[in-house]
Amino acid sequence: MSDLTLAGASLAARCFVGLQLVLPTRALSRLVHSLTRVRWTPFKNGLIHAFIRGFNISLAEAEIERVEDFEHFNAFFTRALKPGERALAPAPAFISPVDGRISQHGPLNDGQLVQAKGHHYAVEALLGNTDWAQTFKGGDFATIYLAPYNYHRIHMPVAGQLRAWRYIPGRLFSVNGMTASAMPDLFTRNERLVALFDTEHGAMAMVLVGALFVGGIETVWSGAVTPPHQRGAPGPIITPPTPVHLARGAEMGRFNMGSTVVVVTAAGMTRPTAGVSEDGRIRLGQPISMLC
């Protein structure tokens, strides 16, 4: 297992990676997808109540505040917020697209992103396209992990027009900190959706990374992308037949169960801002960096 784990990883992390390598992760994710859409009232209400207790979740900020009013668990998990619950930092802030934890952020040095301390992976492998990787030469990135208790809709950090997108099949390993510290190239092993946007400040890629128990990835322009969790070569690059313009702060997609978003920006598009730290919690609308 040594070639499948990173140097310096803890024994617990190595064992967790080893367990995932033998688990039927796609089958388990399909099962979770089915269970989270069960509409039988005793089951779905019991599951939601257990989740709320386990993760200390409040529904006070949600549009739907009564457990009984959700049609199934996934409707609760991807619940909308009340208008105004997430104030957007004023321009020129480049805002967080999600509630979560910034696991890594910084410049793309030699086309490499940081996965964990001392360990890197290639932006070309993440995006699955050489030309797209060249677009972001000398740019910056931010990786944001969504915990189960987080709000799970994904929004635009800056206004933009969708240039193209593609689905890239892959595995469904956990993307939590333990796995990220131990498994090489984690985010390029997992299935993901890559969306390339043009903004008035430069190009931006948003990568929605699938994970263990993530029952589905959706976008506002294509609807459900997964399941099915496919195998094989990356899907085609799709150019939208009609323009897709999304405002700053507008929803662009969602995770049906939690995962990770990686945002990549072109060279000279953003600059660091005070108060943003790795491993720090962040909420939708708060600044990740500043637009140049």
Whether 215 and 266 map to the same domain: the answer is yes
Q: Residue 181: which pLDDT band, with cuts at 50, 70 and 90?
A: confident
Catalytic residue among 29, 33, 72, 99: 99
Contact 144, 101 (CB under 8 A): yes
- Give the pTM: 0.93
Q: Per-residue pLDDT averaged across 124-149, rounded?
A: 95
- 273 and 180, same structural domain? yes
Percentage of the residues of the chain whose pLDDT score is greater than 70: 96
pLDDT at 47 > cutoff 50: yes
* CA diameter of the chain: 54
Q: Which of 220, 173, 162 is nearest to 195 (CA)?
A: 162
Convert the pLDDT of each residue in 115-133 to its tens digit: 977 789 999 999 999 999 9
185 an active-site residue?
A: no
pLDDT band at 76 (very low <50, low <70, confident <90, very high): very high
Statement to judge: residues 163 and 217 lie in one domain: yes
What confidence score (pLDDT) does residue 227 get? Answer: 86
Residue 84 covered by a domain: no
Do 207 and 179 share a structural domain? yes
**Residues 193 and 105 occupy one common structural domain:** yes
Q: Does 227 share its domain with 180?
A: yes
Mark whether 27 and 54 lie in a shared domain.
yes
Query: Is 154 within 8 Å of 253 (Cβ atoms)?
Result: yes
Which domain-ending residue is among 77, 106, 140?
77
Number of domains the chain is built from = 2
Residue 1: what pLDDT? 45
Identify the burial level of 262 via C-beta atoms within 10 angstroms of its C-beta, where 0-12 means exposed, 13-18 middle and 19 or more buried: buried
Question: Which residue range(s) make up the domain with 68?
Answer: 2-77
Based on the residue annotation, tell me whether 289 is a catalytic residue of this protein: no
Same-domain pairing of 60 and 123: no
Annotation marks residue 155 as catalytic: yes
SS3 content of the chain, % helix, strand, coil (to 5): 25, 30, 45
CA distance 60 to 73: 17
Tell me the pLDDT band of 2, cut-offs 50, 70 and 90.
very low
Q: Does the residue 83 lie in any domain?
A: no
Asked if the bond preceding 90 is cis, omega within 30° of 0, the reply is no
**Annotated catalytic residue within 103, 174, 181, 259:** 259
CA 158 – CA 152 distance, rounded (Å): 18
